[in-house]
Homo-oligomer: A and B are copies of this chain.
Amino acid sequence: MNIDFWFEFGSSYSYPAALRIEALAAERGVAVSWRAFLLGPIFAEQGWNDSPFNLQPAKGRYMWRDLERICQAQEIPFRRPTQFPRNGLLAARIACRFSEAAWLPAFVRAVYRANFEADLDIDAPAIVARCLGSSGEDPAVLIKEAQSPESKARLRAQTDEAVKLDIFGAPSFMAGGELFWGNDRLEDALSWVAEHSD
């Protein structure tokens, strides 16, 4: 049984999902495929040059309070970032290039924590390198490899795949052929996999 977890490092509601998914999936015997993508090109197709949470101020104010309540209820540390959304391009290229690596889930969580707990600039290679700290690999080598033309093309192709799957926001989950959108659908998506697998 498998669930595809589609996430964007700048996305606020992806933060609690990224921190929760591995343990929740393991409880149910579901494997997680980590699928980084970029929301920027998808929003640009809608004519948006920014997050909808910035373009719609009332919705943005609501999101920050809602996220605060969610993190409090789930005991997830949260500090509202002083910059939103942050550019997760480098981290996404790494997550896409090394999606199968054993250290990948810990790296993804470290980047989200840097952004939404420590309020750090996840676009800075030094911060990304620190998030790679527990990988057991040389961060400089990983970062260089993630910026190769092949790695860049890979993230572009993965973002194209998200569009083909009708993904329009993050986090999204593909579970047994069904799309689920939002941190608040994570449990539903996992249940769907469990109920609809052979």
Residues of chain A at the chain B interface (Cβ within 8 Å): 46, 55-56, 58-59, 61-62, 65-66, 69, 166-169, 178-181, 184-185, 188
Q: Which residue of B lies closest to A47 (CB)?
A: B55
A165 (CB) vs chain B CBs: closest residue: B58
B184 pairs with A58, CB closer than 8 A:
no
Please give, as numbers and ranges, the residues of chain B lying within 8 Å of A167 by CB-CB distance.
58
Asked if B46 contacts A181 (CB within 8 A), the reply is: no
Contacts of A185 in B (CB 8 A): 66
- By beta carbon, the residue of chain B nearest A42 is B58
Query: Could you list 21 A-B pairs, sorted by A, with CB under 8 Å?
Result: A46-B55, A46-B56, A56-B168, A58-B166, A58-B167, A58-B168, A59-B168, A59-B169, A61-B166, A62-B166, A62-B168, A62-B179, A62-B181, A65-B178, A65-B179, A66-B180, A66-B181, A66-B185, A69-B178, A69-B188, A184-B184
Chain B residues, CB < 8 A from A66: 180-181, 185
* 4 nearest A-B residue pairs (beta carbon): A58-B168, A58-B166, A59-B168, A184-B184
